Amino acid sequence: MSRLLLLCGSQRAGSLNARLLEELAAHVPTGHAIDRFAPGEIRLPLYDAVCEQDPAIRHHLAALHRRFAMADAFMLASPEYNGLMTPFLKNLIDWISRLPWLDPTAPNVFLDKPVLLCSATPGWSGGALGLVPLRSLLAYVGAVPFGEAITLPHAGQAWDAGGKLDPRLADMGWSACVARFCAFAVRADTRNAA
Ligand SMILES: Cc1cc2nc3c(=O)[nH]c(=O)nc-3n(C[C@H](O)[C@H](O)[C@H](O)COP(=O)(O)O)c2cc1C
């Protein structure tokens, strides 16, 4: 059993990546707990060193950091912006990684934690290019990006007006990939606990 935190790199209402995450969450084997942020729950300004002294921001950051700390692993879906992760996601990771520098009792919540990288975009790449720098960033902060990744090209046509996934996409190997990732997360959790 592991606790998975779903992270979306887009805050846009109707985000394709938020939809992809929910499709993937449905493939998480029973016995794993899932946490997710509600839309608008993450309200961090663009990082700067002056902002981090603001008590209200520090309070919000500490609450977000606790959610990350409770997770054993992350499932992350981000669109690609000009070949990179979104500024929203980079900013979030920067802020969360910053708290241990401000409060020495706060752990590095990324350390040794598995991350499944996913992306959906309307274009041909499905966000695969953006996952390369994202993988590097996550490794930099101490996380363990899973070898496999899930990308969904032409994602604008993947769901009908009622929000139902095109049945031709229903078996893209997502279920097996998510299951392998969850097994990997459990093994990592066991090692981390030892
Ligand atoms: C500034 C910007 C840059 C973008 N760059 C790319 C890109 O490099 N590759 C791509 O496939 N889509 C790109 N897109 C399109 C996004 O993938 C598309 O808007 C996507 O739907 C956003 O994800 P979301 O639906 O989860 O919000 C870009 C969009 C913006 C706003």
Higher pLDDT, 123 or 190: 123
- Average pLDDT of 21-41? 96
pLDDT score recorded for residue 169: 86
Average pLDDT of every residue of the chain: 96
Q: Are strands 114-120 and 73-77 parallel, antiparallel or unpaired?
A: parallel
**From the alpha carbon of 17, which atom of ligand 1 is closest?**
26
Dihedral angle of Cα 88, 94, 99, 102, to the nearest 10 degrees: -120
Domain hosting residue 16, numbered range? 3-193
Q: Is 2 in the pocket of ligand 1 (CB under 6 A)?
A: no
The model's pLDDT over 106-161, given as tens digits with 9 standing for 90+, comes to 999 999 999 999 999 999 999 999 999 999 999 999 999 999 999 999 999 999 99
pLDDT score recorded for residue 159: 97
What is 109-156 written as a DSSP string?
TTTT-EEEEEEE-SSSSTTHHHHHHHHHHHHHTT-EEEEEEEEETTGG
The model's pLDDT over 158-170, given as tens digits with 9 standing for 90+, comes to 999 999 999 988 7
> Which tokens in the block code for residue 61?
């950051």
Number of domains in the chain: 1
pLDDT score recorded for residue 193: 82
Cα of 36 vs centre of ligand 1, distance in Å, is: 22
Q: Is 83 in the pocket of ligand 1 (CB under 6 A)?
A: yes
Ligand 1, atom 20: closest residue by C-alpha: 121
pLDDT score recorded for residue 190: 83
Contacts with 170 (C-beta within 8 Å, 6 or more apart), sequence order: none
pLDDT score recorded for residue 189: 82
Q: Is 78 in the pocket of ligand 1 (CB under 6 A)?
A: no
pLDDT score recorded for residue 83: 96
Does the predicted model carry a pTM greater than 0.85?
yes
Q: What angle do CA 18, 163, 127 make, to 5 degrees?
A: 40
| Cβ atoms of residues 143 and 110 within 8 Å | yes
Helical packing angle, 55-70 and 87-102, nearest 10°: 100
- Average pLDDT of 54-62? 97
pLDDT score recorded for residue 6: 98
Amino acid present at 47: Y
The model's pLDDT over 81-101, given as tens digits with 9 standing for 90+, comes to 999 999 999 999 999 999 999
> Which of 7, 11, 20, 80, when mutated, tests ligand 1's pocket best, judged by the most ligand atoms within 8 Å of its CB?
80
Residue 19 has pLDDT above 90, yes or no: yes
> Which of 21, 121, 125, 157, when mutated, tests ligand 1's pocket best, judged by the most ligand atoms within 8 Å of its CB?
121
**From the alpha carbon of 125, which atom of ligand 1 is closest?**
11
Query: For position 122, which CATH number holds?
Result: 3.40.50.360
Q: Is 122 in the pocket of ligand 1 (CB under 6 A)?
A: yes
